[in-house]
Amino acid sequence: MANNFLLGRGFEGSYMPSGYPAFVVILDYIDMATPFGLVFANVLLFAVGLYLVYEIVRRVEPDVPGLPVAIVAVSLFSYLSVKYSAKPQSEILFFALSALVLRLSVSLDGPGYRRFVMVAAMVPLIALAIWVRSIGVMLLAAAAVAILVAWTGRLDALSSVAYGGGRSRFIAAAALVCAVVAAFAVAKLGAPVYVGQFEARDHFFEPSALAGHAAAKATIVFQVLFNVPGRLIDSVPSFLAVCGGGLGLVLVALGFYVSRRRFNAVDAYALASVCLLLVWPYYQPRYWFPVLSAAILVSRAAVPFLDIDSGRTRSAVGSPCERRFACLGRRVFYLGGHLLRGSPPSCSRRG
């Protein structure tokens, strides 16, 4: 696409978004569209994205000092980062743009005018992200939450809406409608290509095809969350890979449940992206790269929830039903750890 543009034919030749080819054209104009220049630009963008992730986690979890470094380290040493950080593909550019949008979305403290300036700054960045990758439309979920935070002045805006008066709920409904309309408009523009991907796959909605799709997606989640490179995944038994992916999804779901009362823009983006990637009929792990840090941050919230013996969890998980569910989750996590290590669980009980 970039070559077509330089030859005067515009960005023709592909239905893919033209944001990254335009970025390559800009590099060409400054004599940086060389192997070294592309790798240097990607590594620089990746470093910027990781710094923004550090700042995001520092703001979202201010009471856990070591967590920002831990999330950045896990993201940095993921096999996805090692494999794609130097490749001339759109993932790194989109990662940096989406991280910048999310950084603005968690910076909505201060006076009212400052909050709305941050929200306004998100708009062109979201447009750029969609131009780079179509999944950028999921950032509209973060924008909807940011609008609520800017309007109410509360970081726990969704909780204030749930327990607030009619005005707060009206604002929530208006923000939701705007986000749905915007998402529908983007999907409608891309419907002949993106929605048609499901129709183009014969028998995709048949039970056997859906079961295969679910198994393939679980395997990819196992690869992404447990850092299993593609060259090693074939050596893992299919059953364990699917169970490991299911375990990862349980952790993510528990993370959303535990942090539901402080649901923020990062959670909204992660939830929307994970849901879309789970149903999208393609199976490349690289699609998960931009949302990896957010997914790890969300799943981290499930760790105290699984430790039912801690007093902190007892206070957070009040009802007997919730405590039994947490105990079951901890035992599933314990069994899953032994399965992933390839050793049978011990039958001994702790005193």
- Tell me if 317 is assigned to some domain: no
**Is the separation of the CB atoms in 263 and 141 below 8 Å?**
no
DSSP SS3 for 231? helix
In degrees, rounded to 5, the angle at the alpha carbon of residue 63 between the alpha carbons of residues 58 and 64 is 70
Of the listed ranges 26-30, 202-206, 223-227, 323-327, the least confidently predicted one is: 323-327
Higher pLDDT, 328 or 86: 86
Cα angle: 265, vertex 177, 170; to 5 degrees: 85
- Residue 38 inside a domain? The answer is yes
**Where do runs of H (alpha helix) occur along 19-165?**
19-29, 35-60, 67-76, 79-84, 90-105, 112-132, 139-152, 157-163
Residue 308 confidence (pLDDT): 39
**Is 99 part of any domain?**
yes
Q: Please determine, for residue 214, whether its predicted confidence score (pLDDT) is greater than 60.
A: yes
pLDDT value at 49 more than 90: yes
Residue 218 has pLDDT above 80, yes or no: yes
Q: Give the span between the Cα atoms of 350 and 248, in whole angstroms.
A: 25
What is the average pLDDT score of the chain?
A: 75
For CA atoms 48, 53, 59, 65, the dihedral sign is negative
Q: Confirm whether 54 is domain-assigned.
A: yes
Q: Model confidence at 150, in pLDDT bands (50, 70, 90)?
A: confident
Q: Between these two residues, 282 and 191, which has the higher pLDDT value? A: 282
| Residue, of 281 and 50, whose pLDDT is higher | 50
CA pair distance 192, 169, nearest whole angstrom: 35
pLDDT in tens, 32-48: 888 888 889 999 999 99
Q: What is the pLDDT of residue 338?
A: 44
| pLDDT class of 342 with cuts at 50, 70, 90 | very low
Whether 351 is covered by a domain: the verdict is no
In tens, the pLDDT along 87-116 reads 888 899 999 999 999 999 888 777 777 888
**Domain housing 215:** 34-306
Counting residues of the chain whose pLDDT is more than 70, the rounded percentage is 66
Average pLDDT over residues 231-252: 85
Residue that wins the pLDDT comparison between 44 and 228 = 44
Q: Which two tokens stand for residue 177?
A: 């409608």
Which stretch of 168-172, 211-215, 250-254 has the lowest confidence by average pLDDT?
Answer: 168-172
311 exposed, middle or buried (CB, 10 Å; 0-12, 13-18, 19+)? exposed
Q: Is residue 176 part of a domain?
A: yes
Tell whether 5 is covered by a domain.
no
324 within some domain: no
Confidence class for position 344, pLDDT limits 50, 70, 90: very low
At a CB cut-off of 8 Å and minimum separation 6, what does 134 contact?
Answer: 17, 186, 190, 194
User: At a CB cut-off of 8 Å and minimum separation 6, what does 351 contact?
Assistant: none
Question: Per the structure, how many domains does the chain have?
Answer: 1
What's the CA gap between 216 and 73, in Å, rounded? 27
Residues in Cβ contact with 28 at an 8 Å cutoff, skipping those fewer than 6 apart:
2, 6
56 pLDDT above the threshold of 70: yes
Question: Are 329 and 305 within 8 A, CB to CB?
Answer: yes
